[in-house]
Structure 1
Amino acid sequence: MSYIPNLESLRHFFNSGATQELSFRKEQLKRLRETIIKYEEELNDALYSDLKKSKEEVWITETGLVLSEISYFLKNLEDLAAPQKTATNLLNLPGKSYIMYEPLGVVLIIAPWNYPFQLSLIPLVGAIAAGNCAVLKPSEVAVATEAVIQKILAETFAPQYISFASGDGARVVPEMVQHFRFDHIFYTGSTAVGKAVYKLAAEQLVPVTLELGGKSPCIVSAKANLKLAAKRIAMAKFSNAGQMCITPDYLLVHQSVKEAFVETLKQTITQFYGDHPVESYDYGRIINKKQFNRLMGYLQNNTLLAGGTHNEELLYISPTLIDAPKMDAPIMLEEIFGPLLPVLTYNDDAFALDVINHNPNPLAFYVFTDDSKEADRWLRKVPSGGACINAVAMHYLNKNLPFGGRGNSGIGRYHGRFSMETFSHAKAVLKAATWPDLPVAYPSFKGRLGLLKKLIG
């Protein structure tokens, strides 16, 4: 069932100035924290229902991340919101210059289904901290989690301040955007839908943040610690059954270590999830049959190194390694978003780079090597939204780092102070001195070119 809030009521509330006070913002964040804690068990149950996430995984990847983000802003909001002093150029001395951060207004946040709680709430926390009103549109695909989010918002906030929209996003989002001018749209999801959102926003010159996906590559060098690489790759790739935008989409393993690495990776998967991952406490499920069938299609005409077992009724696909698929195969052209991991090999950097450049500007790039010079060389060669050396996806957990894509993988960034910047306008302010009021600043400027060059240069 669809629901669109009264958007004009949010505009009126924002225009009242109520959200400007830091004390108001902090109070809202505290209330949100209390409500999330109150509904922690319901969130655990909902995320188990939607994706078979254990309560430990829910804490690590969902609830705990949101609560940590709230704590960050409660601790740092005064400093983040304070005007930032900057230098003043010679022409404007003895005036003073600073940057004033002001809230954007009414923002729209559109969230996906793979991490349906934290990818809804972390942007919302940033929007609240920056002093905005917001409409949150969670994914209707994660049905159980959507219901709990709606309950949390209704219990915590006045509807004219933070509102909830529900229903089919393909219909609800255009209906809202075409009839109301938001001051910012924050979208997380697929590149294809991101383009549609961008087009809608462009018609009204609404700025956007697009957190998209792509095919994030992972290099396993001849100089890598293979056991460490196997553990860290398997941990990230098969968490949430591979339904993660920054998980490795494919591996590029140096030919000299491929056989040893694949064997180590297979052993690691068994160590993590047992001989029958379908019975594992830690292994999730595919969100629905549509995604299950899409993933099963990738297995056609490919050679498996491990896994491949599945159960449609349980929405289960085991951790699966695929040997050297062709570059024009669908699995190498589309974001996989599931527990299927192509393993390609390379002998020289040029070949690996050519493979990566088939899908440029990935959201994330990973390289495993004990040679720091090699790692730095790879980081310079591969433009990406973010990157890790000898780790996978862990940069996402550091709120001191910006998170976002580039090119096809997104526009903009968030987390911590970067969320504050995203949901604020950085207003340039010059406070000019009234004395001295120098005649050189006024016409006629004839004969003053040399002086003006010195003042402005």
Structure 2
Amino acid sequence: MEYSIENIVNDQRNFFRSGATRSIDFRVQQLKKLRSVIKTYEEEMVEGIALDFKKSEFDTYTNELSILYHDLDEAIKKIKRWSKVQRVGTNLLNFPARSYIIPEPLGVALVIGAWNYPYQLSLAPIIPAIAAGCTVILKPSEIPSNTSRIMANMIANNFDHNFLAVVEGDVDTTTELLEQRFDKIFFTGSTTVGRVVYQAAAKHLTPVTLELGGKSPAFITENCSMKMSVKRLVWAKLLNSGQTCVAPDYIMVHHSVEKSFLEALKVEIEKTDYSLEAGTMVQIINDKNVERLAKLIDPAKIHYGGQVDRTNRFVEPTVLKGVSFDDPVMQEEVFGPILPVIVYHDLSDAIQQVKDLPRPLSCYVFTHDDQIKERVLRELSFGGGAVNDAMMHISNPKLPFGGVGNSGMGAYHGEAGFKSFTHYKSILDKPTWLEFGMKYYPQTPTKLKWIKRLLG
């Protein structure tokens, strides 16, 4: 049976108002069910993403499914603690009384997923939404059509649309969804589309979490462990063929180690067969993005790679040297296996150049100098990052994941995700057996004197 978007939203709102999702047992049951459903469809999910990206089973499990299983297990284990009423202290002015905070679900949530990690970035936000007690409508990206279809089928075949539904479609479908009134919108994608989502949400005063992107820098300093730094950087950059929002977008390398760094990059890349056949690279998502990436490769600045196979939507791992902030590759988020390298002489100048760009989603600094580390972490504003590593901060659920400024707002992962779909209701609970009269009329100098002592 086909349901209109408006009907699905209304049905979910009615179901939410019934109070069924407020039960912790109900939420745990649904989370366990979702885990079981993903496990049942795991083989089909692996086959579907291989059709869309030529993504290997290894990468599909490690980069997508294992993260979902981990998030589900943690939510199931900790949901009771996250949902507990929180006692807080009461000030003297309100004596005698108790004060506490009640976590309650926001309501009907819309989750708009992204194409680059289609399972993880669509289903991961659903987990904290269910844990918080919301109903959810998921709009997966239509670009990887096989993964979208699989998610739609597995949800429709196992969940009541009143509680959890998938709506497939293109931009027109997303536009129609955004015309509805939701109690929470969670969007993962580009900054450009994020602005559209934010504007639509503002019409209904709907709170939003925006997980966007940006040009995430990595600093290679003169006293880093070069071999290990390059090893970790290359892995982070080429994972998913660079189509990762927290991938190092460009390198700021100290002039004294530029040559050794460029040579180490070449050696590290050549250690591995980075190809579609080996399963170490995935396809670029579509022809449009292949052409976009091809235009970012300046032949005069190629240090390594640079080949583009349009037939197979493959871009070779590419290192560009002698890059400046004015180059085309520095005007947009790369989102592909192209790594621009910019040389710096003075750390202060390098930090200022990064500051002049919109605040990035991530930042990485490779150094053994605590002063350099502290300067970069203190002076630059970014969503999150790592010291002497890249991307791995997102694997720790105790670290909230989110952006700042153009790279996003709000956060999730672990308890932070639960909080993003929750309203914390503050309560002052006061008995009637005692009442002080200072707040009541008439106003007198003596009352004012005591109030100043209590509030001053």
Q: TM-score range by the shorter chain?
A: over 0.9
CA deviation digits over 1:165-199, x for unaligned, max 9?
1111x211221222x21001110000000001111
CA displacement at 1:354 relative to structure 2? 2.6
Instruction: Give yes or no for the alignment of 1:165 onto 2:167.
Output: yes
Instruction: Give yes or no for the alignment of 1:405 onto 2:403.
Output: yes
- Kept in 2: contact 1:364–1:386 (CA 8 A): yes
Report the equivalent of 1:286. Answer: 284
Paired with 1:369 and 1:313, the residues of 2 have a C-alpha distance of 41
Given the superposition, is the C-alpha separation of residues 127 and 311 from structure 1 closer, same or farther in structure 2, using an over 3 Å criterion?
Answer: same
Spell out the pairing of 1:233-382 with structure 2 (5 A cutoff): 233-273=233-273, 277-300=275-298, 302-382=300-380
Which amino acid is 1:67 matched to?
Y
Report the equivalent of 2:27. Answer: 25
CA displacement at 1:360 relative to structure 2? 2.9
Report the equivalent of 1:73. Answer: 75
Match of 1:209, SS state, is: strand
Paired with 2:278 and 2:350, the residues of 1 have a C-alpha distance of 35
Spell out the pairing of 1:408-419 with structure 2 (5 A cutoff): 408-419=406-417
CA displacement at 1:278 relative to structure 2? 4.6
TM-score by length of 1: 0.96
Paired with 1:267 and 1:2, the residues of 2 have a C-alpha distance of 56
Paired with 2:158 and 2:411, the residues of 1 have a C-alpha distance of 27
TM-score by length of 2: 0.97
CA deviation digits over 1:301-359, x for unaligned, max 9?
65101011121111111110011323222210101100000011111112211321232
CA displacement at 1:3 relative to structure 2? 7.1
Paired with 1:12 and 1:335, the residues of 2 have a C-alpha distance of 42
Instruction: Give yes or no for the alignment of 1:452 onto 2:454.
Output: no
- Give the paired residue count: 453
- Kept in 1: contact 2:324–2:342 (CA 8 A): no
Paired with 2:276 and 2:197, the residues of 1 have a C-alpha distance of 37
Spell out the pairing of 1:143-154 with structure 2 (5 A cutoff): 143-154=145-156
Given the superposition, is the C-alpha separation of residues 60 and 97 from structure 1 closer, same or farther in structure 2, using an over 3 Å criterion?
Answer: same
Poorly superposed stretches of 4+, deviation over 6 Å: none
User: Of 429, 446, 451, which residue of structure 2 is paired with 1:431?
Assistant: 429
Which amino acid is 2:316 matched to?
S
**Structure 2: which 5+ residue stretches go unaligned?**
none
Which amino acid is 1:389 matched to?
V
Match of 2:34, SS state, is: helix
Paired with 1:454 and 1:49, the residues of 2 have a C-alpha distance of 71
Instruction: Give yes or no for the alignment of 1:102 onto 2:120.
Output: no
User: Of 8, 11, 14, which residue of structure 2 is paired with 1:12?
Assistant: 14
Paired with 1:435 and 1:82, the residues of 2 have a C-alpha distance of 28
- Kept in 1: contact 2:216–2:362 (CA 8 A): yes
CA displacement at 1:427 relative to structure 2? 0.8
Paired with 1:454 and 1:152, the residues of 2 have a C-alpha distance of 63
**Structure 1: which 5+ residue stretches go unaligned?**
none
- Kept in 2: contact 1:386–1:404 (CA 8 A): yes
Match of 1:238, SS state, is: helix
Report the equivalent of 1:208. Answer: 208
Paired with 1:339 and 1:44, the residues of 2 have a C-alpha distance of 23
- Kept in 1: contact 2:216–2:247 (CA 8 A): yes
Q: CA RMSD in A?
A: 1.5
CA deviation digits over 1:347-379, x for unaligned, max 9?
111221132123231100000001223211210
Paired with 2:55 and 2:276, the residues of 1 have a C-alpha distance of 13
Paired with 2:73 and 2:412, the residues of 1 have a C-alpha distance of 16
Which segment drifts farther, 185-194 or 147-156?
147-156
Paired with 2:19 and 2:85, the residues of 1 have a C-alpha distance of 18
- Kept in 1: contact 2:37–2:158 (CA 8 A): yes
CA displacement at 1:61 relative to structure 2? 1.0
Paired with 1:23 and 1:156, the residues of 2 have a C-alpha distance of 18
Report the equivalent of 1:175. Answer: 176
Spell out the pairing of 1:120-135 with structure 2 (5 A cutoff): 120-135=122-137
Match of 2:218, SS state, is: strand
- Kept in 2: contact 1:360–1:383 (CA 8 A): no
Which segment drifts farther, 128-137 or 429-438?
429-438
Report the equivalent of 1:189. Answer: 189
Match of 2:283, SS state, is: coil
CA displacement at 1:205 relative to structure 2? 1.1
